[in-house]
């Protein structure tokens, strides 16, 4: 097993701070200092969140002078979209069936 622990996309987006970081990076590439300025947590904490997001291939950073600039890789978020879409279809089918049953029951009473 690799010494580098990989995080899956679901684990990476489970934290509200990481979701907000993704939201910020969806608007523009940002340096760590710029990301940190949006939160009331330390730079070290932001770096830990960015590390988890990087391990899930959601973000990557590139050194630019003394700073590291991060940008979003949205492709892995498709895993979440696909998973949610499955359950959306599942519940749409269940609710359609319930509607059908309720309407047919009402027709029988009339």
- CATH of 9-106 given 3.10.580.20, 1.10.10.10, 3.30.420.40, 1.25.40.10: 1.10.10.10
Residue 5 has pLDDT above 70, yes or no: no
Closest CA to 53 of 34, 27, 35: 35
What local confidence, expressed as pLDDT, does residue 44 receive? 98
Which residues make beta-bridge pairs with 60? 71
Mean pLDDT in residue range 14-38: 98
Contact 19, 53 (CB under 8 A): no
Q: Taking 90 as the threshold, does the pLDDT of residue 92 lie above it? A: no
Please state, as a whole number, how many other Cβ atoms lie within 10 Å of the Cβ of residue 22. 19
pTM: 0.75
32 pLDDT above the threshold of 90: yes
| Residue 85, pLDDT above cutoff 80 | yes
Percent of the chain with pLDDT over 90: 64
């Amino acid at each position: 097993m690799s010494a580098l622990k990989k995080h899956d996309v679901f684990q990476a987006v489970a934290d509200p701070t990481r979701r907000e970081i993704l939201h910020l990076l969806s608007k523009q590439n940002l340096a760590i200092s710029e990301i940190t300025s949006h939160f009331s947590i330390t730079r070290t904490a932001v770096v830990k969140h960015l590390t988890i997001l990087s391990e899930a291939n959601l973000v990557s950073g590139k050194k630019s002078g003394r700073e590291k600039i991060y940008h979003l890789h949205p492709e892995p978020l498709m895993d979440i979209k696909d998973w949610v879409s499955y359950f959306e279809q599942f519940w749409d089918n269940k609710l359609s069936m319930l509607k059908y049953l309720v309407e047919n029951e009402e027709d029988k009473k009339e």
